Amino acid sequence: MPFYLLDGDAVRIEAVVGTITKSNPLGGTIEEQAKFNEGDRISVTNSGKTVVYKLQSGTWAPENSSEYLKWDKSDLKFVLEYPAGYTTLPTDQSTIEKLTTADRMHVDVTYYEIPENRILSASFFRKNVLVKIKIAGYLDQYKEGETYINYLTIGCNPQDYSNMVGSPLVLDKNGKPLEQYYNKGTVGNTYTAIVSPNKKGENSDKYFIYMNVKGYGTQDSSGDILWAKGGQELLAGYAYTFELYVGKETVKIGSVTVKEWAPGDTLPDGETDPVDTWDGQTTEAFFTQDADGAELGNSEASPILINNCAQLAYLAQKVNDGYSYENTYFRL
């Protein structure tokens, strides 16, 4: 028996649904979204000491059995991080395993007394954002079968590219992961990445989507470089699906679906029709810029358009959260 199990003061961690949750960022069922994977690692810090706990045979145990935390009534403050050792956003997320390493979660826990069962329970909060870029179609200049996406990057990257995912996970139209560093993207593919949050208008001069498109059988080895600028609001703990239309001189973002990235949520993959099938919960961000990047909502002549119930729910949610739309024009 490991030594720490014989110590009555050892801090024990119990992974239960709704307490410590999810290292399956793409899980499509309640069960998948609510469980950790065998071998997952979390760090727990107390009184200046950090210990890594690892999920082994369904139980969280100190990675090094001789190093563990003890309950001490003089300091009952704990900091928990998942995954253990997270420092910066991984730029290579080309497999599900690599995507998971970007799913940063954090929580601070303070107890007023030592629990009788000696179990540390904590509700994690996601610190990053899940972004899906779905290739919804080509514009007139491109045709399926003649054109392919050589690469696509995601993130409102500054000049040092520290917040850019250079190799996102690529899914086919059925949601099946394609090979690592897949470079023959087409209509129906979805590029998936976990990125850092972004305030509205922040990094608006940086690239949110940056891509290279090539043609089969052409002599042009460089292809076409296309991009969409940043500035989109990306809230921690939310999942965003952007439909992208790709043309030779521009890319256009179509509908944007926003959903809380929480236990039990099924993340949207397919087409949505928020007007006809709104579930009373899903919200959808509205456009705050036109196709040329000009701000909407500044005047009666250029209002922000509310096109469906999900977008109206999004507006209500923002107002309830304290966001001010004073002197902003909308049209239903």
pLDDT grade for 18, boundaries at 50, 70 and 90: very low
* Distance in angstroms (rounded) separating the CA atoms of residues 125 and 110: 15
Contacts of 188 (CB under 8 A, 6+ apart): 134, 135, 172, 173
Label residues 149-161 b or e (16+ Cβ within 10 Å = b): bebbbbbbbeeee
Q: How many Cβ atoms sit within 10 Å of the Cβ of residue 266?
A: 12
Q: What is the structure's pLDDT at 264? A: 35
Mean pLDDT for the stretch of residues 247-252:
83
pLDDT, mean over the chain? 79
* Distance in angstroms (rounded) separating the CA atoms of residues 190 and 210: 14
Percent with pLDDT over 90 in the chain: 26
Residue with tokens 């107002």: 319
Q: By mean pLDDT, which of 38-52, 56-70, 196-210, 232-246 is the weakest?
A: 196-210
pLDDT grade for 274, boundaries at 50, 70 and 90: very low
Q: Where in the chain is the domain with CATH 2.60.40.2630?
A: 129-265
- Give the domain 129-265 fold: Immunoglobulin-like (2.60.40)
* Distance in angstroms (rounded) separating the CA atoms of residues 250 and 11: 55
Task: Answer whether 0.85 is exceeded by the pTM.
Answer: no
| Integer angstrom CA distances of residue 128 from 95, 193, 237, 245, 287 | 18, 10, 6, 25, 22
Residue with the bigger pLDDT between 291 and 79: it is 79
Q: Which two tokens stand for residue 50?
A: 């950090």
CB 223 within 8 A of CB 212: yes
Q: By mean pLDDT, which of 9-23, 266-280, 307-321 is the weakest?
A: 266-280
pLDDT grade for 20, boundaries at 50, 70 and 90: very low
Query: pLDDT digits over 146-162, tens only?
Result: 889 999 999 865 455 56
Percent with pLDDT over 70 in the chain: 80
* Distance in angstroms (rounded) separating the CA atoms of residues 65 and 49: 15
Contacts of 7 (CB under 8 A, 6+ apart): 68, 70
pLDDT grade for 205, boundaries at 50, 70 and 90: confident
Q: What is the structure's pLDDT at 161? A: 58
CB 30 within 8 A of CB 21: no
Helix (H, G, I), strand (E, B) or coil at 6: helix
Q: By mean pLDDT, which of 14-18, 141-145, 184-188 is the weakest?
A: 14-18
CB 22 within 8 A of CB 263: yes
Segment holding 97, helix H or strand E: helix 96-100
Phi/psi at 316 (5° precision): -60, -40
Distance spanning both ends of the chain, measured CA to CA? 66
Mean pLDDT for the stretch of residues 313-332:
84
Which CATH number among 1.10.10, 2.60.120, 3.40.50, 2.60.40 corresponds to the domain 3-126?
A: 2.60.40
CB 200 within 8 A of CB 289: no
Q: Is the peptide bond before 197 cis (omega within 30 degrees of 0)?
A: no
